[in-house]
């Protein structure tokens, strides 16, 4: 029984370690996180800028 458990643990360890050694997957995840962060920043900037521009146009149109 003990030998089977240690074989299972060794198998799991090798599988997990092989995932961390594959740098392509880690790099792809990092690029996806960076792209998501940049898109959130762009969306929030566009929303804020849109509100400011709308306020400016409303102010100009009311003064005319």
What are the residues whose beta carbons fall under 8 Å from the beta carbon of 25, sequence distance 6 or more?
19
49 with 55: CB under 8 angstroms? no
Q: Is the pLDDT of residue 2 over 60?
A: no
Task: Tell me the pLDDT band of 53, cut-offs 50, 70 and 90.
Answer: confident
CA 12, CA 18: separation in Å to the nearest integer?
A: 10
CA 1, CA 8: separation in Å to the nearest integer?
A: 11
pLDDT at 57: 86
pLDDT at 48: 87
Measuring CA to CA, which residue among 14, 42, 19 is closest to residue 29?
Answer: 19
Q: Is the pLDDT of residue 46 over 60?
A: yes
Q: Is the pLDDT of residue 43 over 80?
A: yes
Tell me the H-state helices in 22-64: 23-63
- Average pLDDT of the segment spanning 33-60: 89
Task: Tell me the pLDDT band of 42, cut-offs 50, 70 and 90.
Answer: very high
């Amino acid at each position: 029984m003990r030998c089977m458990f240690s074989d299972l643990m060794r198998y799991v360890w090798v599988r997990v370690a092989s995932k961390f050694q594959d740098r392509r997957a880690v790099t792809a995840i990092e690029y996806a996180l960076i792209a998501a962060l940049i898109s959130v920043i762009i969306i929030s900037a566009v929303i804020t800028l849109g509100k400011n521009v709308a306020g400016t146009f409303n102010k100009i149109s009311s003064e005319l």
